[in-house]
């Protein structure tokens, strides 16, 4: 029987792998095709189209042929969605709520992380715990 700690270690390694999808990738172009976005996240183009329909925040431009053109901002949003759904195990509805609440801490294209909200919450919890002491 596999212990919980072993399961945690496996999941943590898997999650770290998922979170690094944009690591080391420099997004220098203004627009990316659906195929390029799909290859960045190693998913099918149908999943990109599906997420586009499900998440109203993603609104790619379309050229004269009707081909989707995604910006770096769109790709960053795909990264957040990917991390929530594939890495954290959120449902699509849960990911939508998390994105709307804007309390999601994820890596951006520049490999930086915004911890300010998380730190504030932890400091409040710490203060409450010290009061109980």
Q: What is the distance between the alpha carbons of residues 101 and 95, in angstroms, rounded to a whole number?
A: 10
Structural domain spans, the chain: 4-132
The upper half-sphere exposure of residue 48, i.e. CA atoms within 13 Å in the direction of its Cβ, equals 25
The upper half-sphere exposure of residue 8, i.e. CA atoms within 13 Å in the direction of its Cβ, equals 3
Above pLDDT 90, what percent of the chain? 35
So what's the pLDDT on residue 88?
Answer: 84
**For residue 54, what pLDDT band results from cuts at 50, 70 and 90?**
very high
Phi, psi of 61, deg, nearest 5? -80, 160
- pLDDT, one tens digit per residue, over 70-109 is 999 999 899 989 988 888 888 999 989 888 886 555 544 4
pTM above 0.75, yes or no: no
Contact by Cβ (8 Å): 67, 31: no
Q: What is the distance between the alpha carbons of residues 87 and 57, in angstroms, rounded to a whole number?
A: 20
Longest Cα–Cα distance of the chain, Å, equals 66
Which residue has better confidence, 17 or 128? 128
CATH class in words for 4-132: mainly alpha
Q: What is the distance between the alpha carbons of residues 46 and 51, in angstroms, rounded to a whole number?
A: 9
So what's the pLDDT on residue 101?
Answer: 82
Please determine, for residue 45, whether its predicted confidence score (pLDDT) is greater than 50. Answer: yes
Q: What is the distance between the alpha carbons of residues 105 and 83, in angstroms, rounded to a whole number?
A: 10
């Amino acid at each position: 029987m596999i212990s919980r700690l072993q399961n945690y270690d496996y999941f943590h390694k898997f999650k770290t792998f998922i979170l690094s999808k944009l690591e080391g990738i420099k997004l220098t172009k203004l627009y990316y095709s659906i195929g390029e976005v799909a290859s960045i996240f190693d998913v099918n183009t149908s999943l990109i189209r599906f997420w586009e329909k499900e998440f109203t925040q993603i609104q790619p431009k379309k050229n004269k042929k009707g081909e989707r053109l995604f910006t770096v901002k769109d790709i960053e949003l795909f990264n957040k969605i990917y991390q929530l759904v594939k890495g954290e195990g959120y449902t699509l509805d849960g990911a939508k709520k998390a994105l709307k609440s804007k309390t999601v801490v994820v890596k951006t294209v520049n490999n930086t992380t915004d911890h300010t909200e998380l730190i504030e919450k932890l400091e409040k919890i710490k203060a409450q715990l010290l009061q109980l002491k």
